[in-house]
Amino acid sequence: MTAFTITPLTPNFGALVGEIDLSNTLTAHTMGNLERALLQWKVLFFRDQDIDIEDQKRLGSWFGELEVHPTAKRDSANAEVLRIEEDGEHRAHNNLWHSDVSFELEPPLGSILRAREVPPVGGDTLFADMEAAYAGLGDDIKERIDGANAVHGWPPAWIDIAMRQRGVTDREEFRRQFPDPEHPVVRRHPRTGNKCLYVNTAFTRRIVGLEQSESDELLAFLYRQAAIPEYQCRFRWQPNSIAFWDNRCTQHYAVADFHPQRRVVERITICGDRPI
């Protein structure tokens, strides 16, 4: 028996979970059902969860170790919490299709994002189902990309931040510690075994073995798949709304239409494994 309710946002992708209180420690049975729901719907949404950071961390910890974002402040007591605070002066620049920190060798399993302050309207987040995006490709493209690898890289501005925060002054040393990884263009989801398109506009640099121009052209086509409405769902936030996405098979886009109004969200991130 499932203790919570599921209300789909679209027929196959994204669902609202109701009749659940995340400030409670949930039973292993409920957590198992929640994980199955995440695997099925890929992104789960919750409303009216007046929880604290410990609750948010406990929810994430059930799925795996929590990750400290590479550019998060090192000295903060809650280093696992990534706080994104936006207003007239600060912008997050995450209004592009991406999966989180794919430039890591082992990118996250998923993230749990909780809204603290939201504008009266605007600041929605879009999600794209990258398993559906792969399935929708023609056989010729699938043949070209099955087995191909792509280089993912740090955005240069983030390297500077990460170096400052770690006290690393030598760029070469930093690059030795954090080399740009290669990931399969089509990854298999470690739990479902399903193939997902795994390149994104924010962090993918080039497809290995192709001329840059050919790689750019193919990547531009693959990036466009996330922008197809049939693969998407769109979430309108309220204070205490939560989105929990599977970062292995989805991408997201934060709509930057609300500035200069304030929007504050807090994310915890669950460690994942190396894409295969």
Active site residue 98: yes
From 98, 114, 206, 248, active-site residue: 98
Nearer to ligand OGA, 205 or 263 (CB): 263
Give which of 78, 51, 26, 201 is closest to 128, Cα–Cα: 201
| Strand intervals (E) in 41-152 | 43-46, 66-67, 81-86, 110-117, 125-129, 149-152
Residue 90 CB, nearest distance to ligand OGA (Å)?
A: 13
Residue 69 CB, nearest distance to Mn ion (Å)?
A: 10
Q: Quote the tokens at residue 51.
A: 């929880």
Residue 235 CB, nearest distance to ligand OGA (Å)?
A: 8
Query: Residues 130, 250: contact at Cβ < 8 Å?
Result: yes
Cβ-closest position to Mn ion: 100
- Identity of the residue numbered 163: M
Cα gap 84→115, rounded to integer Å:
10
From 114, 152, 189, 252, active-site residue: 252
From 69, 100, 206, 263, active-site residue: 100
Active site residue 100: yes
| Sole binder of Mn ion in the list 67, 80, 86, 100 (CB under 5 A) | 100
What secondary structure does DSSP assign to 148-190, as a single string? -EEEE---HHHHHHHHHHHT---HHHHHHHSPPPEEESEEEPT
The helix/strand/coil state of 107 is coil
Q: Could you tell me whether strands 66-67 and 43-46 are parallel, antiparallel, or unpaired per DSSP bridges? A: unpaired
Which does residue 267 touch among Mn ion, ligand OGA, none (CB within 5 to 8 A, set by kind)?
ligand OGA
Nearer to Mn ion, 108 or 218 (CB): 108
Cβ-closest position to ligand OGA: 254
Residue 98 CB, nearest distance to Mn ion (Å)?
A: 6
If 0-12 CB within 10 Å is exposed, 13-18 middle and 19+ buried, where does residue 56 land? Answer: buried
Number of residues that bind Mn ion (CB under 5 A): 1
The interface with Mn ion within residues 153-182 (CB under 5 A) comprises none
Active site residue 267: yes
Q: How many CB atoms lie within 10 A of CB 152?
A: 25
Q: For Mn ion, which stretch binds (CB under 5 A), given 11-19, 98-106, 153-161, 242-250? A: 98-106
Give which of 232, 171, 179, 172 is closest to 205, Cα–Cα: 179
Which does residue 183 touch among ligand OGA, Mn ion, none (CB within 5 to 8 A, set by kind)?
none
Active site residue 69: no
Q: Does 86 bind Mn ion (CB under 5 A)?
A: no
Nearer to ligand OGA, 69 or 205 (CB): 69
Residue 254 CB, nearest distance to Mn ion (Å)?
A: 7
Interacting residue ranges for ligand OGA, rule: CB under 6 A: 84, 94, 100, 111, 113, 125, 252, 254, 265, 267
Which does residue 205 touch among Mn ion, ligand OGA, none (CB within 5 to 8 A, set by kind)?
none
Q: Which residues contact 276 (CB under 8 A, 6 or more apart)?
A: 184, 187, 188, 190
**Residues catalogued as catalytic:** 98, 100, 252, 267
- In the complex, the residues that contact Mn ion under the rule CB under 5 A are 100
